[in-house]
Amino acid sequence: MNWGGVFALFGFPDDEGGSKDNKKIKEELEAYKETPYFKLGMFHKLIMNGQVFKKQILNFFSKADPSLDTEGIDGAGEFMMFTRAYFWVEGFKFRSKFWKEALKKYSNDEFLVALKLSIHYFESTEEYEKCAHLQKILVLVEKNMLEEKESVSI
């Protein structure tokens, strides 16, 4: 990704020497990308937006060429989406306070759906170690949701 181009959109032109502010912002963005909040968010967005994108792509190709085998396109798209999404949560540290705090922020029905869809996909490809990892995260999400529900009802 060309950070200079992104910053230029928001009034941060990429000058040759690089101002201190630009460098600081770039460093902060890079540091944020390593946080559990960012990684869990990327997992969530990839799965939820990927489902919508997949439907749009399949619809586009089926209209463009009705004889085209869209099943292969669908399979390749699912592989890419779920594999890339898993990349963001494969390093989930179950004993880390920071990971658990970040997961509390994402403990909602939509994140639960993203986890269940991922587990279902990796079951179909017989990647059971990924299923087990995702299942542990799912259990924590359900626990967080139950605790939130109980605290609201008290």
Kindly report, residue by residue over 101-121, the tens digit of the pLDDT: 999 999 999 999 999 999 999
Q: Are 112 and 142 in contact (CB under 8 A)?
A: yes
Tell me the mean pLDDT in the region 7-24: 65
Residue 95: other Cβ atoms inside 10 A: 6
Tell me the mean pLDDT in the region 139-146: 96
* 111 vs 11: CA distance, rounded Å: 34
pLDDT confidence of residue 46: 94
